[in-house]
Amino acid sequence: MARTVASVHPDFTRRTAQWARIRDALEGQDEIKSKGDEYLKKPDGMSSTAYDAYKDRAQYYPVAERTLRGMSGMVFRHPVKAELPKKLEPLTEAATTDGHSLEVMAENVVNEVLSVGRYGILVDYPAENNTVNSTPYLATYTAENITDWKVQFVDGLRTLTRVVLKDDFDSDDEANDVAEMRLELILNAEGNYEVRRWKSAGADATSDKAATFVLVGEPTVPTVNGKPLKRIPFIFINPYDLRPEVEKPPMLDLIDVGIGHYRNSADYEHALYLTAQPTPVAIGNINEKQKPTAIGSGAFWILPEGSQAQFLEFSGAGIEAQRQAMLDKEDRMASLGARMIHDGKNRNEASDTAKMRGKGEMSLLTNVVNMAEAGIERALRIAAEWVTGKPDDVEVKLNRDWIETKMDAQTLTALVKAWQSGGMSHQTLYENLQTGEIAPVDRTFDEEKDLIEEEGGDLGMGVMEAALAQAQQPPGAPAKPSKAPGSGSNEGDGGEEAAGMGVSR
């Protein structure tokens, strides 16, 4: 049976519920609670009013969002480095249809692949006002918007031959406000890239019926330099490769444990509500008039002779077992990558220990960064091939220096001595200064040399003294300006911008 744009890939169907669970968890407590018994079943026999109170007392630990932001922050603590042909330089400021910069788009890619494990980029030209001088752009798609795909062998190679995307495109038809849109990208019978646009008919997005779709306009065969394309310019980005196949979302296990923790919390808080406060009991032949109506130091009880007064208090291991179950899940979440929610034992550990402890987490992060970098670079190389014919002019680099490790003065001194003795080049020394976070990581060696020349030429050891002084500063302390020999000024000419390498020894 031929597949239509209303069809979805079996892997899409299998993962949809997982993606929705991840989205809800990342949104946080309000979203989780709004879904009611989807995440917290109502105990048998509990009334709706009691269930609402049971749910309200529960606490959802925001592990997922904190972990994602922490890992993303580790990557983007240094800016993205991108070398582009001049004609593609506008993409650094506005790369996507939403007007996002290349930096913002890269962060979205990493966040999506770290969480749901899937993202897509379509390289395209503007639909209107497209001229020979137009700049390509990147249209981005989340996992939920990539509904179907097909891979076939073409000339002995696995080739993407069809992709279906949920897409919103401009229309003057007010009915489109509720219509579902599809963008179908195929390799047609001639082996050319062809684009078809569809909209739903017969049922809208609010209907329970499956929508049928009608073609909008005629299929188009995009051309570049007058020639049709022989491949679909769409890139899939997954945690471990750039293939169309759907992989298990990286954060799924962490989020499932977090939801289990939320359920334990509901039971624990409910048990505390029922048992935490002692209940006063009066035993004896007490009539209605003698029944105590208040408790505390200001209340006075008069009981008949022979009566007893005492408190009922809970005793047993039930509540403690519930609490321990929550603690066990917190430890499990920590081992799955949520190290920021742990009990703080590692706050003062050495950087080497931190690196060893986070090895599993770094492995995932490294894979995701590798694939995000490769996917973005592939998309930009397609764009470069269209406008210049030189895809090799594109290079994209994401930060891999996850943990801040400021170079200490002793190491810096040893590097400077190696440079002075001729055992190390200027450029190697500067690269070490960047690795040690003494020199800015986004400033090239040539840019540093230009700044040095603007500051007065060879700054020699004055620069090293400034760098040493900076290395010896406590974390967070402002950099002290240092006057370099020959600068001819006592007004701090050898300031922060000059704290780099000289042009010659």
- Residue 29 in tokens: 């407590």
- 3-state SS, residue 155: coil
- Residue 129 in tokens: 């006002």
Single out the residue of 253, 19, 9 nearest to residue 118, CA to CA: 19
- 3-state SS, residue 264: helix
Of the chain, the end-to-end C-alpha distance in Å amounts to 74
Question: What is the residue-wise DSSP string for 362-388?
Answer: HHHHHHHHHHHHHHHHHHHHHHHHHHT
Distance CA 163, CA 8 (A): 10
User: Do residues 414 and 362 lie in contact, with contact meaning Cβ atoms separated by under 8 Å?
Assistant: no
Burial 7-19 (b: 16+ CB within 10 A, else e): eebeebeebeebb
pLDDT per residue of the chain (505 residues) written in tens, 0 to 9: 578 889 999 999 999 999 999 999 999 999 999 999 999 999 998 999 999 999 999 999 888 898 899 889 888 988 999 999 999 999 999 999 888 999 999 999 999 999 999 999 999 987 655 555 678 999 999 999 999 999 998 888 899 999 999 986 554 455 445 678 999 999 999 999 999 999 988 555 455 556 789 999 899 999 888 899 999 999 999 999 999 999 999 999 999 999 999 998 988 888 888 776 677 777 877 777 777 777 777 777 777 777 777 766 666 666 778 888 888 888 878 877 644 333 444 444 455 555 554 444 557 888 999 999 999 999 999 999 999 889 999 999 998 877 666 677 777 778 777 776 777 887 887 777 777 767 776 677 777 777 777 766 554 444 555 555 555 555 555 544 444 334 444 343 333 332 332 322 2
Distance CA 378, CA 99 (A): 20
- Residue 120 in tokens: 């897509």
Four-residue CA torsion sign, 396, 398, 401, 404 = positive
Distance CA 53, CA 274 (A): 12
Four-residue CA torsion sign, 140, 144, 146, 151 = positive
